[in-house]
Structure 1
Amino acid sequence: MNEQPKLTAASTSPLRGEIAPQAREGVGNSTSANVALSPHPGALTRSDPPPQGKDVEVLRHIRKPLPHDSGPKHVQGVAQYIDDIREPEGTLHVAIGQSPKARGRLISLDVSAVRAVPGVVAVLTAADIPGKNDVSPAFGDDPLFVDSDIGFLGQALFAVVATSRDTARRAVKKAVMEIESETPSVSVDDALERGETVLPDYAYGRGDPDAVIAQAPRKLEGQFRVGGQEHFYLEGQVALAIPGEDGDIHVYSSTQHPTEVQHVVARVLDVPDAYVTCETRRMGGGFGGKESQATQWAVTAALAARITGRPCKLRLDRDDDFILTGKRHDFRCDWKVGVDEEGRIQGYAVDLLARCGYSADLSAGVVDRAMFHADNAYWMPAVHIASKRLKTNTVSNTAFRGFGGPQGMLAIEHVMDQIAWATGRDPLDVRYANFYRPGENVTPYGMEVEETDTLVNLVRTLEETSNYRARRKEITAFNASSPIMKRGIALTPVKFGISFTLTHMNQAGALVHVYQDGSVHLNHGGTEMGQGLYIKVAQVVAEEFGIAMERVRITATTTAKVPNTSPTAASSGSDLNGMAAKVAAGAIKKRMIAYASEAYGVPEEQIAFRDDRVFIGNESLPFDELAKKCIAARVQLSEAGHYKTPKITWDRAKGTGRPFFYFAYGAACSEVIIDTLTGENRLLRADILHDVGRSLNPAIDIGQIEGGFVQGMGWLTTEELVFAKDGRLLTHAPSTYKIPVASDVPAAFNVALYPNANREETIYRSKAVGEPPVMLANSVFCALADAIHALDPEKPVPLHAPATPEAILRACEALRGRPMG
């Protein structure tokens, strides 16, 4: 063996102490104190504590409240989005020619006047597509440009490619078309009447709920409508396509799914996938709206670049973005339930009727997930959950944060309130009575709920820390003396399944390089849309090598480095990509250890990486020095890591399996006040306790909880999508569509993380945090219903979502016996 290289002696200085995963100081009004886990009276007995292992290690970066990697750039306005990329010389701009009718057949399209506009370089129609005229994610029912049948008002008929964006937008108005129009289906009821669906009906359950409900002491039934939601990302849909040699094309796309953009561009251009590279450094928000529906605009830009041989850019105007892109699915939920005198469910049946729009898009998974969450946190001995995916002449609805889960969950929370009002019990007590518990812990789709103790203890803890019972008494007294202004309070739970329900999508890849100077190049298939995924995965890699965060270079997601990736969705970004990056870094580290062990004659177990040094026995050398020595010894310091989620199975035909790796839990307590004469309302206070396992980054996680809650509150209170009978979207801009603003955030907004290690072997025992917080806002809707109920406690509240001032006033007037027209 060669002579041992000289090492520098180093004392083993203690590492910095671990910050508790729930610590986060100075963030608005949020609080993050340790919460007691001792059982409260009536709580279910807590099972054995979760496995510890690496959970108790002292860590340098993991579980620390590190800032977002792009935070300073966001504040300074220098974070580069696609519209900020310096345009190559000769870049052309693309605008979309839209259908003025919602349903019918395109008889003729004359674009000669469009071509004659000065500055117009090309006009693209279905006839110009070299490959398949299809931008759908799966079902082949979504054309890039209409060639015959028109599915919704605004659908793309053609595209104009011009020397300026203004020229292109003006030129599209010159087209002359003849359309044989038909009466469109716009609502769920329209589609039901016509019997039109985008996919077959689907149902599952157990027992005979109809028979059980018929024999139950109390029987209730109703119809509940849940509205849709516009994504309203700050950065609209945008793509820049640059042609290369031999048919290659490089597409910069604001997408959550670069691999799908690559695949569909190749499909439409009729080239192999390897000819197409899709790159995404960051998005200005996505929320699911860029999972499948960023693809069409990237493909259009790529087709324009292919035909013109010049760089082409497409950026949708905000109004066009509203009209041309899908929303959260709206639902009509027809339900019936049988309960005992204590309000415990004996049988439950629900039909989830979803407006999907003109094509399937992601409705298969979205509506399935609504079904998976139709139970939320509650045991149902006999249950039937059915669904219809209805076809309407509106833009195809798509993924939205929660992916159907919020709609299914809100429906059962509405039912819980109805049960409480019918039995005269506190709604929280009805929820407690129906929680999953040992022996009654199997979902309607056959998956065992293993953490029944987590949910009940979390809710009981929040009940105490929010002072729910005392505030309930205060509110009752206030309402008794206040005939016009009414207050309400609600505490609702969240049980959300984590994993893609399409099993093969639960995989991720990562690419890690260690360079000779000790710097690390990190790339993975996850995309950054502001949620902090990049910094979390970088923390994992820095922790694995024991190096400073500054040594890890975060790079843009690109299909040229990590292929065949899944979308950044389903709250699985950190779980999947964090594990893949850990696998890759761990493999490199293992090779470095093997080299050091042989070179210095020290057993591998006596070699440790920390504090930017490598400790070999009683001596150490800098990390970068070992990297140089490894390169000199021809040790490979590059690795492509891969991870696939274990344990998950799902047999859709049989309606049973384990579609989720684990559940994330949470609860929120919201207090509101309403004016029963105008419907005006305000959220006065919100208390949230949320389970993120052992947080990878508490600062990022609390930010996600706060943002998700407010976004969910917008969905349920102010954001209303209105379509005219001719299929025209009337709420297509900030002037007519109201998202929450800073003043809607309550002055008292208390957020804490529940200290609870994930019992499954996830990345550092953390839990996903992207989607579950949206459903914490169910408490706001239920609190508004509670306030309306104070007008007449003998009647159920006819409130549907969103609970806009008009909807609240309509419900108040109904309780007064003077329904509005």
Structure 2
Amino acid sequence: CALAAFKLRRPVRMYLDRKTDMIMAGGRHPMKVKYSVGFKSDGKLTALYIDLRMNAGISPDLSPLMPGSTIGALKKYNWGALAFDIKLCKTNVSSKSAMRAPGDVQGSFIAEVIIEHVASVLAANPNAIRRKNLHSVESLTKFYGDAAGDAPTYSLVDIFDKLASSSEYRSRAEAVEWFNGGSRWKKRGISCVPITYEVSLRPTPGKVSILNDGSIAVEVGGVELGQGLYTKVKQMTAFGLGELCPDADGLLGKVRVIQVDSLSMIQSGFTGGSTTSETSCEAVRQSCAALVERLKPIKEGLEAKSSAAVPWSSLIAQAKMASVNLSAHAFWTPDPAFVKYLNYGAAVSEVEIDVLTGATTILRSDLVYDCGQSLNPAVD
């Protein structure tokens, strides 16, 4: 726009449809990586040195946070000795923003390129190299520290074995070989990739308010962007207040989540890192616990006068007359001993490439992941 306006000496407006805009401005941080890797003849890795340059663009954005997540994803394998040098490079192109595992995707890709390289040199099956270099519980603790957690929570080996050793994977790999032997201009590949994703819990606010008509307004710092945050928050509210209401399912319909701003929820922070749902829900649960403590004496008093269950509307009406505070705010902070933890997953993807045009098509992806105890399996 600026160049056209300068050349034409008149105002210029550029209109882009969303797809074109994403092609121009979207994408992930480009990185240039040089590496030296040591390994034994049986494929066991012994050492890795990474020299990484990241194109951070013209403005910092969240680029300074990305080296940590990039190395965090790369550490999913036991490299033996690991050293790295990462530099953020200021350039004259637009900066990429941070959305959906920024840096983690690149780190995982770098790790897989190195694994494939080692397998190629040894003329070995890449999956065999991957499996041999997955962490033990001891090495996982050395690479990830306290985030590694207890031994029973380390499920990556089981997840990887479940996919890579399945008869269906072997038959699909054979079908890929058969296809490539008879196709000149289109080729297929299949790969099984493990993932280790480190998340960090952070302090999060929540507020639950019961209105005079019995409806419930909930405020949390997180933003709903398709991850099901509001659904989980509503369910947590109904769960937290459930012991006060004989019809817990009906209570869910009374809950609505209000989109907050930085004034009504001053310590809301950001939405990201795959922990906003759980921290927001815990703040809501604590808010509900405070309301239950205030309303329980009212409920017990009404129950003493009547043998029937106390309707929700009657309880709230009585609480209002008794001048009970029907709004509770909580600011949940994580236990210092449990601020970080690891999630594990693996995926088998089958891809077809047109070697003339470079066009790629994902034919199928099978994913298995361990996210612990889910807040809502249907949403997750």
TM-score by length of 1: 0.42
- Among residues 361, 366, 370, which one is paired with 2:61 in the alignment? 361
Of 335, 338, 341, the match for 2:41: 341
Q: Across the two proteins, how many residue pairs are aligned to each other?
A: 368
Once the two structures are TM-superposed, the CA of residue 426 in structure 1 deviates from its matched residue by: 1.5
Kept in 2, the 8 Å contact 1:403–1:570? The answer is no
Question: What do residues 403-443 of structure 1 show as CA deviations (whole Å, max 9, x unaligned)?
Answer: 21111111001111111112222111111111111222235
- Kindly tell me: are residues 600 and 338 of structure 1, through their superposed partners in 2, closer, same or farther at Cα, counting changes over 3 Å? same
Shift of 1:366: 1.8
What is the root-mean-square deviation of aligned Cα atoms in Å? Answer: 3.2
1:345–1:517 CA distance, 2 compared to 1 (3 A): same
Aligned-pair identity (%): 30
The 1:673–1:510 alpha-carbon spacing in structure 2 relative to 1, beyond 3 Å, is same
Deviation per CA, 1:599-621: give whole Å up to 9, x if none.
Answer: 6569xxxxxxxxxxxxx9x7421
Does residue 414 of the first structure (1) align with residue 113 of the second (2)? yes
Tell me the equivalent position of 1:688.
367
**Residue of 318, 325, 347 corresponding to 1:636:** 325
Residues 1:391 and 2:90 are matched in the alignment: yes
Cα deviation code 1:86-133 (max 9, x no counterpart)? xxxxxxxxxxxx6549xxxxxxxxxxxx9xxxxxxxxxxxxxxxxxxx
Q: Distance in 1 between matches of 2:96 and 2:361?
A: 30
Equivalent in 288, 313, 338 of residue 624 of structure 1: 313
CA separation in 1, counterparts of 2:140 and 2:322? Answer: 56
**Counterpart residue identity of residue 277, structure 2:** S
2:233 is aligned with 1:537: yes
- The CA distance in 2 between the partners of 1:631 and 1:356, in whole Å, is 56
After superposition, give the CA deviation of every residue in 1:57-83 in whole Å (9 maximum; x if it has no partner).
xxxxxxxxxxxxxxxxxxxxxxxxxxx
> Retained in 1: the 8 A contact 2:147–2:342?
no
Choose the corresponding residue for 2:190, options 486, 489, 496. 489
The equivalences for 1:322-337 within 5 A come to 327-337=27-37
Q: 1:507 to 1:600 in 2, by over 3 A?
A: same
Question: In the TM superposition, what whole-angstrom CA distance separates every residue of 1:311-359 from its partner, at most 9, and x where no partner exists?
Answer: xxxx998599669967521111111110112212100111221000122
2:148 to 437, 442, 449: 449
Note if contact 1:371-1:386 (Cα within 8 Å) is conserved in structure 2: no
Give, in whole Å, the separation in 2 of the partners of 1:485 and 1:173: 43
Map 1:696-775 onto structure 2 (within 5 A).
696-701=375-380
> Following the alignment from structure 1 to structure 2, what is the Cα–Cα distance between the partners of residues 369 and 679?
30
Task: Give the aligned residue type for 1:628.
Answer: A
Q: Aligned partners of 1:662, 1:539: CA distance in 2, in Å?
A: 24
Structure (1 or 2) with the larger CA radius of gyration? 1
Indicate whether 1:673 and 2:352 are aligned. yes
Asked if 1:517 is matched to 2:213, the reply is: yes
C-alpha distance in structure 2 between counterparts of 1:678 and 1:584, whole Å: 57
Query: What SS does structure 2 have at the residue aligned with 1:440?
Result: helix
CA distance in 2, matches of 1:466, 1:538: 42
How far did 1:514 drift? 1.0
Q: For the Cα contact (< 8 Å) 2:303–2:309, is it kept in 1?
A: no
* Counterpart Cα distance in 1 of 2:356 and 2:349: 22
Shift of 1:481: 5.0
The verdict on how the C-alpha distance between 1:332 and 1:437 changes in structure 2, with shifts beyond 3 A counting, is same
Higher mean C-alpha displacement, 345-354 vs 396-405: 396-405
| CA–CA separation in structure 2 for the residues paired with 1:553 and 1:319 | 33
Distance 1:540 1:534 in 2: 10
Return 5+ residue gaps in structure 2 as ranges: 243-247
| Gaps in structure 1 of 5+ consecutive residues | 1-97, 102-113, 115-152, 154-169, 175-314, 501-505, 603-615, 649-657, 702-821
Letter in 1 for 2:199: I
Q: Distance in 1 between matches of 2:174 and 2:74?
A: 31
1:231-270 alignment runs, 5 A limit = none
1:705-724 superposed Cα distances (whole Å, 9 cap, x missing partner)? xxxxxxxxxxxxxxxxxxxx
Q: Deviations over 1:1-53 (max 9, x none)?
A: xxxxxxxxxxxxxxxxxxxxxxxxxxxxxxxxxxxxxxxxxxxxxxxxxxxxx
Superposed, 1:155-194 pairs within 5 Å as 172-173=11-12
* Matching residue's letter, 2:194: P
* Deviation digits for residues 643-664 of structure 1 (CA, Å, limit 9, x no counterpart): 122236xxxxxxxxx8x62111
SS of the aligned residue for 1:684 comes to: strand
Is 1:436 equivalent to 2:135 in the alignment? Answer: yes
Q: 1-side partners of 2:66 and 2:113: how far apart? A: 20
Instruction: Indicate the residue corresponding to 1:463 in structure 2.
Output: 164
1:621 and 1:465, CA in 2 relative to 1: closer, same or farther beyond 3 A? Answer: farther
Worse-superposed segment, 666-675 or 566-575: 666-675
- Whether the 8 Å CA contact 2:192–2:349 is kept in 1: the answer is yes
> What is the alpha-carbon distance in structure 1 between the residues aligned to residue 25 and residue 142 of structure 2?
34
Secondary structure of the 1:403 match is coil
Matches for 1:642-653 after TM superposition, within 5 Å: 642-647=331-336
Retained in 1: the 8 A contact 2:298–2:315? Answer: no
Aligned to 2:126: 427
SS of equivalent to 2:267: coil
Q: Is the 8 A contact 1:536 1:574 kept in 2?
A: yes
Partner of 1:402: 101
